[in-house]
Amino acid sequence: MSIPQSAQLRLQFLARIVRKEIRYLNSTDGRLFDSPFSREKAQRLEADDNLAEQVDAFVSRFGRLQDTVGDNLLPLYLNAVGEKTGPAVDNLNRAEKLGLINSVDTWMALRELRNQMIHEYIEDLDKLTDALNQGHVHVSTLSEDAGRILCDLEIRGWIQSP
């Protein structure tokens, strides 16, 4: 099955971006969670600029990967394979049925988690700590699901291996 060159070029661009985002998120995750992220660590955020920047980078990269995959790569992939696209939840449902993601429910929960990490950042250290730790656990979910989409695109010959 062939696709228009413009769609293939866009998929190739998004594949490069997603690979970078995965690498950057994993790198930040490794530094931020080199030791458990506790409430005590969260209390140091105001006084520790390096820690605060790591948290900001983690939250930003977590959300960016999620957005790039869910809002850009996945709809373009679905169109390319002849699937109907719609709202994010519908696209995620289709992706789950195609075996590209493990769980729509997890992806929807991760969207809410991203919002918690952003909005709870300033006031509620317990919620922030919990959200960051949950995000840490699910870095692999985002990376692996994105990797499955990229792998399928490679198999189809629409993108190159890195």
**pLDDT at site 120:** 58
In eight-state DSSP terms, residue 161 is -
**pLDDT at site 5:** 96
SS3 9: helix
Output the tens digit of pLDDT for each of the chain's 162 residues.
789 999 999 999 999 999 999 999 999 999 999 999 999 999 999 999 999 999 999 999 999 999 999 999 999 999 999 999 999 999 999 999 999 999 999 999 999 998 888 875 567 899 899 999 999 999 999 999 999 999 999 999 999 998
**pLDDT at site 29:** 98
Over its C-alpha atoms, the chain yields an Rg (Å, rounded) of 17
Distance of CA 132 to the CA centre of its chain: 14
**pLDDT at site 2:** 86
Amino acid at 106: T
Spatial contact of 92 and 111, defined as CB atoms under 8 Å apart: no
**pLDDT at site 60:** 96
Q: Domain coordinates of the chain in residue numbers?
A: 5-155
**pLDDT at site 123:** 77
Q: How far apart are CA 53 and CA 46, in angstroms?
A: 10
Fold of the domain spanning 5-155: Four Helix Bundle (Hemerythrin (Met), subunit A) (1.20.120)
**pLDDT at site 122:** 64
The pTM score is 0.93
